[in-house]
């Protein structure tokens, strides 16, 4: 009987995942990752995880990763904002913590696999006497979470199971209700991975002090540039941001399109202004990660391939093509894209397979 460690968060997705694994005959153990001590919901989540393991009659462990989480995820986040980019801590959390530290720790418990409640699928294929794993989108397109797993590797995929990949969220809720799970109607977690919803300015101010500067309004059409407000520091704001810019009295909403990091200046424009849009971007070689190197070899050979891109999680898929260069990859979108944000991850798909990613 294969042994699986399921990452239990106390939520309905990981709980149903544990049930499905046990139903399939796996020897299941539940593990709660204690990553952040300042989340008021942590004890409620632990309680819910314990209730599920008691109901399913499986062992339960708590692994304390607070020190490593602070080093790998929180530090990465602060460093990114200090540089003036907009980092994605959820993706790094998956790479370093869930499929890094958690996998490593679980293997010490002599498990064969780890499992999570992500809405993704994996596929095993044989090519040239080698086993290759593909990462596929989840059946539920509204809940598909493949974007957040764009930095995991072949070893991590080989040791991971995703019980919810072929289910919809609605089906998962129905299973939980049928089993009388205590958390069947529990709301999905939101905000920063393991931290929850936060006010980003208040959170960053713990490590990054305010530094006032000017906000400039710019119009490409009129070629005008004038001071229209003040800000608290370029690091607190992101490209495409409209809210919390402390700008009043304008006829139309204004959006951040540029940061002058050296001089601590922010520039805003109206939504229709071309400065907010890009059709071509270049991704540096050192930031690129391939789930399967076969696609890199294919790109090198053909020099150009058609893909679907996502420049952040909750947006429509974008028809694009990738062009190979020695220093990186040029990405050309079919249409102009709003607020292409430095520091975020661009993820590439062919059909429903996630093939790779890079940092904008």
Q: Which residues are catalytic?
A: 93, 193
Tell me the two tokens of residue 186.
């529990």
- By the 8 A CB rule, do 316 and 325 touch? no
- By the 8 A CB rule, do 360 and 344 touch? yes
Tell me the two tokens of residue 257.
């399109």
Question: Cβ atoms within 10 A of the Cβ of 313, count?
Answer: 16
Of 351, 347, 8, 352, nearest to 163 by C-alpha is 8
Phi/psi at 247 (5° precision):
-115, 130
End-to-end CA distance of the chain: 44
Return d(Cα 101, Cα 130) in angstroms, integer.
26
Return d(Cα 151, Cα 268) in angstroms, integer.
32
């Amino acid at each position: 009987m294969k042994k699986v460690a399921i990452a239990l968060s106390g939520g309905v997705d990981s709980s149903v995942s544990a049930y499905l694994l046990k139903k399939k005959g796996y020897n299941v153990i539940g593990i709660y990752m204690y990553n952040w001590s300042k989340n008021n919901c942590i004890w409620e989540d632990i309680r819910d995880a314990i209730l599920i393991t008691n109901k399913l009659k499986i062992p339960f462990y708590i692994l304390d990763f607070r020190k490593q989480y602070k080093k790998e995820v929180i530090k990465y986040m602060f460093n990114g904002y200090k540089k003036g980019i907009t980092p994605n801590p959820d993706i790094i959390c998956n790479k370093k913590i869930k499929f890094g530290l958690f996998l490593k720790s679980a293997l010490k418990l002599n498990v064969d696999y780890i499992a999570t409640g992500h809405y993704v699928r994996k596929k095993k294929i044989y090519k040239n006497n080698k086993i290759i794993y593909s990462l596929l989108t989840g059946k539920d397109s509204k809940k598909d979470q493949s974007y957040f797993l764009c930095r995991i590797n072949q070893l991590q995929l080989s040791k991971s199971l995703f019980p919810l990949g072929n289910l919809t969220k609605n089906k998962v809720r129905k299973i939980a209700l049928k089993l009388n799970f205590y958390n069947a109607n529990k709301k999905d977690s939101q905000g920063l991975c393991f931290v929850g919803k936060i006010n980003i300015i208040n959170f960053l101010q713990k490590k990054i002090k305010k530094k006032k500067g000017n906000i400039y309004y710019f119009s490409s059409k009129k070629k005008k540039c004038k001071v229209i407000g003040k800000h608290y520091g370029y690091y607190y704001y992101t490209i495409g941001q409209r809210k919390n810019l402390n700008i009043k009295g304008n006829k139309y909403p204004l959006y951040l399109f540029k940061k002058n990091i050296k001089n601590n200046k922010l520039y805003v424009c109206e939504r229709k202004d071309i400065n907010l849009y890009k059709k071509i971007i270049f991704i540096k070689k050192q930031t690129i990660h391939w789930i399967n190197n076969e696609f890199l070899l294919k790109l090198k050979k053909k020099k150009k391939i058609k893909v679907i891109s996502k420049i952040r999680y909750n947006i429509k898929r974008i028809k694009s093509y990738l062009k190979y260069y020695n220093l990186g990859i040029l990405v050309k979108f079919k249409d102009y894209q709003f607020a292409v944000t430095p520091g975020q991850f661009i993820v590439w798909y062919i059909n429903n397979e996630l093939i790779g990613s890079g940092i904008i």
